[in-house]
Structure 1
């Protein structure tokens, strides 16, 4: 397969189109975190609804992204990439006009289908088209730009939400997607695996989609019905069985969507474990930090978005540099120190109590954001380099799909599990706080029922006693839950560093069509 230089005209068009398309998908996640309070008020959504709005997209992405990667390898990377972009912008436009929560969740599923075809296509196109000597730098450039746009998402989301225009978070994808489609159509050549088979692993796709959906549903039902409920037991049990069935299907399939022989490579296995732990911690940490700032600390949504600017500046400055270091010295040290620093940043952020709002930002949130940002900046590009460098070009789309699927699965589990945990932590702390407030049993139950709305909890109508004390109890309880969630997220960052220490070794491109054993 012929490759092109990064600085050539063809190389630049590949990079620009890949970055534009990827940015649409990534901006949705971070911008949506910031606009959730506005969306919650506008659509009268509960706390569980919010997690479903996030998870409907992530769920489809996680379930189908593996098929998206292998489809690109088999049928043509550019073709599948363009199909994904088209579906994604259609889903985005529909999300923008959705009349209520249920429709928004349905349209987010369409977005997820598009994203599953689109996201692995960008990295696969880069890995299979750019000269091997410049691949780390190209991936570092892709990581830097997409992460900058991703981290710029909260600023844009905050500004639009404060102006009452949260729907434009979805509409903005349409012109970006059209521009990427035109570039790909006119300027980028098709690449695909000419030697591979073209069969699609539908049993595997169905097993992982249903398995993830049921596990997610089980965790999201816990706040509503409690842990000791047949709905929770049944959905979690069947979901886990389907995920086990997925592994069995992949082992026996002649055309697996996730070839298990890839995991014979310790670096590939370790990089994906690191991805799972780090992205679960990162996703939960960023979501709850945004909710804390807006719903408890008194930040506007724009101010909340602006707090991530230091993170963005570090990504601009360091991601490409980190990719170059990984090319020169190997990714191992960066993949130990980076996640450890990110975990330390999340730990620092967990100690923040009630503040005086944005005026206290520099002495409260800022130090943790800096340490967290440094860790992520030195991790993203080397992690991608390690994954893509541990397999041959033959498996580039599949490897990209597996790694992206792992990061999205991490996001699904983080939102489902941490969402359930946050409500349980909030309700437990609230019961303690309410011991100091005069309420009868029925009123107390009404007040505690609001725990499902987390930071958006409001004093129920009909309760006139000690409203200020109840509101204070809500704030204190949320901060208590926030601290526990952030510390759990930090522990996941440290687990990621441990995976880097145990599994990651020097990475050389495999010459075989399989993997380096």
Structure 2
């Protein structure tokens, strides 16, 4: 694919470009929230085991986590519009493969391709907006982009639950097709090409090592979580994964500013702290968001639609309160909200200890969901602004992309550790779920303490957090 040339550029139509970017990125937002409601039906449909259910999630998260930074760099080099269209086309084709999958292997292959497509379309949808809009219009466009994504994530479990219940689980993948087609058509017709070849970091060796290292680590943890013992295969996979990730860091150090993940950014205490906090918080939260609808359906005998409804308040609260917290954090700095948010999430997880099979939704499930949502709303917007303020302007895009990749890697690792929970049935499933909630609450407290000790206490201090 040759780089874009000036002759290929054409005047942008900002509103239609915004709509194209919204449709494309909504594919990932919708897929991330709708699949959890469908997992029990997918497991039953294929007669899958616990580790195979884990891979339905992680086959998507693995390439997305490892390739997200590279996807943005390739878009800088070859053209953001082109990569947005390519990623969206891959995602749409993979969704069709998932819907028509005759066996679990085909479904997993489709999920991998979906992850690759998402790694291309997500960073380039935002980069295309940055290139199309300027000044206040840019901030307004990104705000609309984020708000629609949050709304899509909120309504997706309801739509997915209804489809699983009345049409069947393959139908959740068919809903991606019109979104993908609309995004490609609008981008092709109305978006102007843009690129920044000088800023591109096409670090293919780094991307390959990161992917293989995460694969080894994830596969090893998945096997261990089902067996709960270190067999030679598990040990070998974990050692290989760690060795490959160490080689990735060595490659990145040698490439300097040309690296996919410039290690110079990690000389800043605030940047290191916020990314560690992101890994811990999103890992714990991702694990619970996978387990909660699964437990409600399997042990609580909720229908998929009821499970989707049960999660709706969470996405709505995060979408409504996050902008308010973003403005609040701009005045007081990120330290307080980034400390309080994870601890409030931990309180919500402890409330989840009251969830039992056949228990009341209003008395047991809803209070936990409301408190968890409030904690995440405290942290989401301040996290983004704090990460960006902790690095210089030339690294802002890389820092944002890296933080997104770290969040997904947290979910990837957490999902790999859930084998014993997903393998349980009946009362044992609820008991294992309670244990997972306790562990996740402890991880969230660690995330809050990490923020307290690494993030500066004012917006000015957040910009220069000395190592």
Instruction: Please give the TM-score of this superposition, normalised by the length of structure 1.
Output: 0.81
Query: Which deviates further from its counterpart, 341-350 or 390-399?
Result: 390-399
Name 1:152's counterpart in structure 2: 155
What does residue 38 of structure 2 align with? Answer: 35
2:419 alignment counterpart: 420
Report the counterpart of residue 108 of structure 1 in structure 2.
111
Alignment of 1:467-486 (within 5 A): 475-486=426-437
Q: Distance in 2 between matches of 1:133 and 1:362?
A: 42
Residue 491 of structure 1, CA deviation: 1.8
1:261 to 264, 288, 313: 264
- Is 1:498 the counterpart of 2:424? The answer is no
Question: Which residue is equivalent to 2:67?
Answer: 64
Asked if structure 1 preserves the Cα contact closer than 8 Å seen for 2:252 and 2:263, the reply is yes
Q: Alpha-carbon deviation of 1:403? A: 1.4
1:44–1:67 distance in 2 versus 1, CA, 3 Å: same
CA shift at 1:141, angstroms? 4.4
- 5+ residue gaps, structure 2, are 1-11
Q: CA deviation at 1:309?
A: 1.9
Alignment of 1:177 with 2:176, yes or no, is no
Q: Does 1:89 align with 2:92?
A: yes
Is 1:51 the counterpart of 2:54 in the alignment? yes
Match of residue 202 from structure 2 = 200
Q: For residue 130 of structure 1, report the CA deviation from its aligned partner.
A: 4.9
Q: How does 1:134-283 map to 2 (within 5 A)?
A: 139-196=142-199, 198=200, 200-222=202-224, 225-254=227-256, 255-283=258-286
Corresponding residue for residue 379 of structure 1: 379
Instruction: Determine which of 343, 354, 358 is the counterpart of 1:355.
Output: 358
* Contact 1:319/1:377 (8 A) holds in 2: yes
Q: Distance in 2 between matches of 1:396 and 1:75?
A: 20
Q: Tell whether 2:365 aligns with 1:325.
A: no
Aligned length: 454
Q: Structure 2: how far apart are the matches of 1:478 and 1:334?
A: 34
After superposition, the C-alpha distances for 1:162-203 in whole angstroms (9 at most, x for unaligned) are 11421121111111122222333333333433533x562122
Pick closer, same or farther for the CA change 1:298–1:123 going to 2, 3 Å: same
- Whether the 8 Å CA contact 2:273–2:455 is kept in 1: the answer is yes
Q: Given the superposition, is the C-alpha separation of residues 402 and 341 from structure 1 closer, same or farther in structure 2, using an over 3 Å criterion?
A: same
The answer for the alignment partner of 1:400 in structure 2 is 400
2:169 aligned counterpart, secondary structure: coil
The alpha carbon displacement at 1:115 in A equals 0.9
Query: 1:139–1:384: 8 Å Cα contact kept in structure 2?
Result: no
Flag the 1:188–1:26 CA change in 2: closer, same or farther, 3 A: same
After superposition, the C-alpha distances for 1:431-482 in whole angstroms (9 at most, x for unaligned) are: xxxxxxxxxxxxxxxxxxxxx3x33xxxxxxxxxxxxxxxxxxx22111100
Note if contact 1:392-1:510 (Cα within 8 Å) is conserved in structure 2.
no
Partner residue in 2 for 1:314: 317
Structure 1: gaps of 5 or more residues: 1-8, 424-451, 456-474
Root mean square deviation, CA, Å:
2.8
Return the alpha-carbon distance in structure 2 between the equivalents of residues 26 and 109 of structure 1.
16
TM-score by length of structure 2 reads 0.89
TM-fit CA distance, 1:338: 2.0
Compared CA separation, residues 367 and 323, structure 1 to 2 (3 A): same
Is the contact made by 1:391 and 1:516 (CA closer than 8 Å) also made in structure 2?
Answer: no
Displacement of 1:49 in angstroms is 0.9
Paired position in structure 1 for 2:388: 388
- Residues 140 and 381 of structure 1 are in contact (CA less than 8 Å); yes or no, is this contact kept in structure 2? no
- Distance (whole Å) between structure 2 residues aligned to residue 347 and residue 398 of structure 1: 35
Deviation at 1:396, TM superposition (A): 4.1
Distance 1:366 1:225, change over 3 A: closer
- After superposition, the Cα gap between the structure-2 partners of 1:58 and 1:280, relative to the gap in structure 1 and judged at 3 Å, is same
Cα distance in 2 between the residues matched to 1:319 and 1:302: 26
Q: How many angstroms does 1:34 deviate by?
A: 0.6
Q: How many Å apart are 1:133 and its aligned residue?
A: 6.2
Q: Is the 8 A contact 2:295 2:433 kept in 1?
A: yes
Partner of 2:440: 489
Secondary structure of 2:198's counterpart equals coil
Give 1:10 deviation, angstroms: 6.0
Instruction: State the Cα distance separating 1:260 from its structure 2 match.
Output: 1.0
Indicate conservation of the 8 Å contact 1:69/1:400, yes or no. Answer: no
Alpha-carbon distance between aligned partners in 2 of 1:332 and 1:133, rounded to the nearest angstrom: 27
Could you tell me whether the CA contact under 8 Å between 1:389 and 1:509 is conserved in 2?
A: no
Question: How many Å separate the matches in 2 of 1:144 and 1:33?
Answer: 22
